[in-house]
Amino acid sequence: MAQILPLRGRHRRHSPPKLPARLARKVLQHFLCSRALALRAANLIKVRAILQQRVGRAIAADGCLNDADIHGADRKFIDRPNGLLEAHYEDPEFSCSTLADNIALSQRQFQRKLKALTNRTPLDFLRDFRLCTAAQQLSDDAPAGNAAYSTGFSSPSCFSRCFRARYGQTPSEYQQGIHSRPAEVEA
């Protein structure tokens, strides 16, 4: 006759179970890794927020980006679109997609990176660069129409609308304000 072996043997009662201990170790490791990952993510978010504040301070009131508080890889990244914009800002056909292509990033990846770094979209970045250049030309007594066309705007009315939205005054009011400031200081 065949012998029937009991499922619960004396052997198991006296030795500690191995599977639950391994499982507990894995759960604990997973929890610790998840916690460490969450802490790293939170720290990365804090660092990015601080960097956005620094870049925000580096963007002067007139919308132009100056060199303060941007270092390392972020400085290199900002210098790439700035260099391209300096070379092509007068071209009305130069767009955000062209800018992303020349930097060798997809449009979406360029948007993510620029937004994370400057808190501005590529379109805002391009428009602000052109408006900053136009403001410099207007302060050098260039006519508003010439400043519009030479900075890549397709029409003076579009330029005037964007300029007013950015600076709170029309290009001609801006020029008059530039010329009236030295007289007010002397008086």
Amino acid at residue number 156: P
Question: Looking at residue 37, what is its pLDDT?
Answer: 75
**Could you tell me if residue 104 is inside a domain?**
yes
pLDDT tens-digit series, residues 89-100: 888 888 889 999
**Could you tell me if residue 168 is inside a domain?**
yes
**Could you tell me if residue 105 is inside a domain?**
yes
Question: Looking at residue 131, what is its pLDDT?
Answer: 92
CA angle 100, 103, 106 (to 5 degrees): 45
In three-state secondary structure terms, 158 is helix
The residue segments making up the domain with residue 178 are 61-186
Number of folded domains that form the chain:
1
Helix (H) or strand (E) holding 121: none
Give the CATH number for residue 137: 1.10.10.60
**Could you tell me if residue 130 is inside a domain?**
yes
Question: What's the predicted TM-score (pTM) here?
Answer: 0.66
**Could you tell me if residue 20 is inside a domain?**
no
Percent of the chain with pLDDT over 90: 19
